[in-house]
Amino acid sequence: MSETIRPAPAGEPTTSSAGRRAGPAQLALLLAGSCLAVLGAVLIAPVLPQMTDHFAGVAGADVLVPVVLTVPALVIGLAAPFAGFVVDALDRKRLLIVAMVLYSVFGTAPLYLQSLGAIIGSRVLVGICEAAIMTCCTTLIADYWSGPRRSRYLGLQTLTASVSAAVFLGVGGALGAAGWRTPFWLYLVAALLALPMARLLWQPERGPAAPAPAGRRLPAVPWRELLAPCLVTLAGGIIFYALIVELSFVLDEAGVGSTATIGALSALMSVATAAGSLAFARLSGQSPRRLLPVALGVSAAGLAIVAASGAVPVITVGAVLTGAGTGLLLPTLLTWAINRLSFAQRGRGTGLWTGALFIGEFLCPLLIAGLGAAAGGLRPALAILAGLAAALAVVTLMVVPRGAAPLDITHG
């Protein structure tokens, strides 16, 4: 039987009935698990041109190869709300362990699959696993800690994911020199993480407001309160993912052909995202009404710079600014969405927010392709997206109430 924990006072680690405290080991495992969706989202970005060349004989390869990268995001978007329901109704830990093992199985499948269609199918299954992993890890962080510490750790989650993106982009680009299939070996890391997770994590005990699992309905989630942060998150996912998937093509147009160089520049953007997340850790006492316009404005400026020049140093500056803006954006949206949810609502709220983010990520390349077809290329499309991000910064001033509370409120 899984060990259980009881809610702790604000800002304190949570203890189990056996006296265990959630501490650095639990936090490290949950942060590591949260990085796996990032691995799926960015690892093969530097080798997309190679994959396109490999499958050049396949009809529609120019469209289908980017789908290999982005289809897990669509599946996460569709599956995360259902994973959130399972998390609230059944068990956080067991779902996490099963998903971690299957993630390794499906993630390494492109090492031996030969058809592009089969590879895309394996990526669909990876997305289902990622939906469960992301929802479980985020929910457990919110379960194990509360108050300002919870907000800091949720910000740290984005920071860690951003740093891991830099690592995965760099490693993916380096491994891509040995062939486009080689980066898929990294998916085995999930199976290795599942072992300490099974030993060191535990299923939280249901809070006093949560129902017993035996045949009772779960308490309703405040959908109206979640609507605004989830809609902004949908747009934020598009902005966040734009350069992750398109920067390699922008650099290719600028004459950069080396996958290692593309990976290194993409990694630099991810470092900037990490810096934005680190800034959130210091600013988490501010209201979302103050932070969101700043985050979206910086992102818009970065996209505009990338769109304005074909010079690699200028593109790099724009990518860094975009990364810094999105690094501040994501933890602000996440804490805005879930800090006001109870234990019995938290899984579904987290799943809904995660779904909105990843649907936005999936729609991103499709939107940019449509804008590019209408406006005359990738750079004009990015310029339009920059304008949309700037407009959204203004919209948040109207959507988020003036009286919106700071992000570090305690809600068990």
Under 8 Å between Cβ of 127 and 72: yes
Task: Per residue of the chain (412 residues), give pLDDT as tens.
Answer: 333 333 444 444 444 434 567 789 999 999 999 888 878 777 887 788 888 888 888 887 877 888 888 788 788 889 988 888 888 887 889 999 999 999 999 999 999 888 988 999 999 999 999 999 988 998 898 888 877 787 788 878 877 877 777 788 778 878 888 888 888 898 999 999 999 999 999 887 755 444 444 445 777 777 777 888 899 999 999 999 898 878 888 888 888 877 778 878 887 887 888 888 888 877 767 778 888 999 999 999 999 999 998 888 999 999 999 999 998 998 888 878 877 777 778 888 888 888 898 888 878 888 998 999 999 889 999 999 999 999 999 998 888 766 554 544 444 4
Residue 331's φ and ψ, nearest 5 degrees, are -65, -30
One-letter amino acid identity for 376?
A: G
Going by the DSSP 8-state scheme, the letter that residue 43 receives in this structure is T
- Coil vs helix vs strand at 374: helix
DSSP state of 182: G
* DSSP β-bridge partners for residue 6: 15
- Topology at the third CATH level for domain 24-202+223-399: Growth Hormone; Chain: A; (1.20.1250)
Between CA 385 and CA 236 the distance in angstroms is 11
Asked if 267 and 332 touch (Cβ cutoff 8 Å), the reply is no
367: its two tokens: 């939107």
Domain chopping of the chain, boundaries: 24-202+223-399
**Beta pairing class for 15-16 and 5-6:** antiparallel
Q: pTM of this prediction?
A: 0.75
Torsion of CA 84, 87, 89, 90, to 10 degrees: 150
